[in-house]
């Protein structure tokens, strides 16, 4: 895990080196002209945020995927493979002992199977959540249709108000009604 962390740190360092102040200034030309100190501070804060958030995400991912135990298992497998090849060189090849490629392939198969199972569980959870949300939407749509129907019935039951016309003095014009 230390070597993987070191590789991640080197990658981040490479990104920081590539995103120097000059390139950062090209992204904000007006700020570079108006206030170079503010640009420098913004660049420094952005790079610090990038580095810290990237390392946090890397550590979270390593923890979620259980990278440490997988790397340890891989190291053990490689060591076992190395000792196996040394012993095979001195002893004749027997049909019962699998070759290193078969051992590595079976290990990869198990890892991929576990990953597939994890993703299938995640898919199942997503389907359940989606179905639940669709049921809620359908219930709300049904409620809206009922309310619209009730509103339509109320409109039909309402007593129509006759329209009245008034003359110039404010009296109801009987001839118009």
pLDDT band at 177 (very low <50, low <70, confident <90, very high): very low
Neighbours of 86 (CB within 10 A): 10
CA separation for the pair 75, 65 (Å, rounded):
17
- Evaluate the CA torsion angle 87, 89, 91, 95 in order and state its sign: positive
Tokens of 172: 């109801």
**pLDDT at res. 67:** 85
Name the residue with tokens 């309402």. 158
Q: Is residue 1 predicted with pLDDT exceeding 50?
A: yes
CA separation for the pair 51, 57 (Å, rounded):
10
Q: List the end-to-end C-alpha distance of the chain, in Å, as a whole number.
A: 93
**pLDDT at res. 27:** 87
Domain spans, the chain: 1-64
pLDDT band at 175 (very low <50, low <70, confident <90, very high): low
Residue 42 · residue 30 · CB < 8 Å: no
Rounded to 5°, the CA angle 64-65-67 comes to 115
Q: Is residue 127 predicted with pLDDT exceeding 90?
A: yes
Tokens of 144: 């809206």
Residue 39 · residue 24 · CB < 8 Å: yes
pLDDT above 70 covers what percent of the chain?
81
Residue 104 · residue 81 · CB < 8 Å: yes
Tokens of 62: 């390593």
**pLDDT at res. 135:** 93
- Evaluate the CA torsion angle 16, 19, 25, 27 in order and state its sign: negative
Q: Is residue 132 predicted with pLDDT exceeding 80?
A: yes
Q: How far is CA 38 from CA 25, 41, 42, 47, in A?
A: 11, 5, 6, 14
28-37, 74-83, 158-167: range with highest mean pLDDT:
28-37
CA separation for the pair 75, 77 (Å, rounded):
5
Residue 150 · residue 143 · CB < 8 Å: no
């Amino acid at each position: 895990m230390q070597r993987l962390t070191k590789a991640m740190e080197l990658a981040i360092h490479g990104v920081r080196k590539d995103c120097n102040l000059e390139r950062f200034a090209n992204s904000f030309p007006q700020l570079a002209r108006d206030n170079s100190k503010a640009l420098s501070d913004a660049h420094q804060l952005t790079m610090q945020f990038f580095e810290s958030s990237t390392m946090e995400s890397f550590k979270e991912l390593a923890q979620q995927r259980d990278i440490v135990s997988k790397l340890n298992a891989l190291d053990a497998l490689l060591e076992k493979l190395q000792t196996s090849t040394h012993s095979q060189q001195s002893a004749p090849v027997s049909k019962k002992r699998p070759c290193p490629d078969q051992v590595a392939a079976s290990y990869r198969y198990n890892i991929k199977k576990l990953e597939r199972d994890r993703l299938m569980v995640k898919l199942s959870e997503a389907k359940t959540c989606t179905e639940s949300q669709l049921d809620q939407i359908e219930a709300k749509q049904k409620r809206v249709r009922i309310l619209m129907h009730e509103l339509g019935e109320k409109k039909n039951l309402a007593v129509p108000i006759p329209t009245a016309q008034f003359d110039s003095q404010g009296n109801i014009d009987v001839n118009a009604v």
